[in-house]
Amino acid sequence: MNQSTELTTREPRTDVASRDGAQSTARLNRVTPAVDIFEDRLGITLYADLPGVTRERLDVRVQDGSLNIEAEAVIPAPCGLRLRHGEVRHPHYWRAFTLSPDFDVSLIDAQLRDGVLKLTIPRREEAKPRRIEVSVGQA
């Protein structure tokens, strides 16, 4: 990732299944998930908060230097109760980042646990910092 990691915008996708089938674009409640990004010499680790998201409703893609995270949360109503007031219904998470060519996107590791997505993106071998030995020579 670079210093100017950017959040991009695009038309929302509707191919993430909703609880009751097809969902119109107008009904999407878009939420930008909070993320924490840590970088070291080996690469970056990104944590995205996606409460209520299951693996089946999560889509992580990398294309043309862009990392896209898209998901839909499932918020079940307790059995026997009817919703009288709801402020967030079927939240649709979406966030995008521009990746530096220094990262090896073919080796991204993704894990979802307890509503937190963890992406580990390693740095390419040739982009990792290395120490250069300097010898003392005679002129």
Q: What is residue 20's predicted lDDT score, i.e. its pLDDT?
A: 47
Q: What is residue 10's predicted lDDT score, i.e. its pLDDT?
A: 43
The length of the chain is 139
Q: Where do the structural domains in the chain lie, given as residue ranges?
A: 27-77+86-125
Q: What is residue 107's predicted lDDT score, i.e. its pLDDT?
A: 95
**Which residues partner with 69 through β-bridges?**
60, 95
Residue 66 in tokens: 């862009």
Give the Cα separation of 85 and 61 in Å (integer).
34
Q: Are strands 109-113 and 116-122 parallel, antiparallel or unpaired?
A: antiparallel
Q: What is residue 139's predicted lDDT score, i.e. its pLDDT?
A: 66
Tell me the whole-structure pTM to 2 decimals.
0.69
In CATH, what is the architecture of 27-77+86-125?
Sandwich (2.60)
Q: What is the mean predicted confidence (pLDDT) over 1-24?
A: 43
Helix (H) or strand (E) holding 60: strand 53-63
In this predicted model, what pLDDT tens digit does every residue of 53-97 receive, in sequence order?
999 999 999 999 999 999 998 877 788 888 787 776 678 999 999
Give the Cα separation of 98 and 123 in Å (integer).
15
In the predicted structure, residue 102 carries a pLDDT above the cut 70: yes
Question: What is the number of other CB atoms lying within 10 angstroms of the CB of residue 73?
Answer: 21
In the predicted structure, residue 48 carries a pLDDT above the cut 90: yes
Q: What is residue 88's predicted lDDT score, i.e. its pLDDT?
A: 64
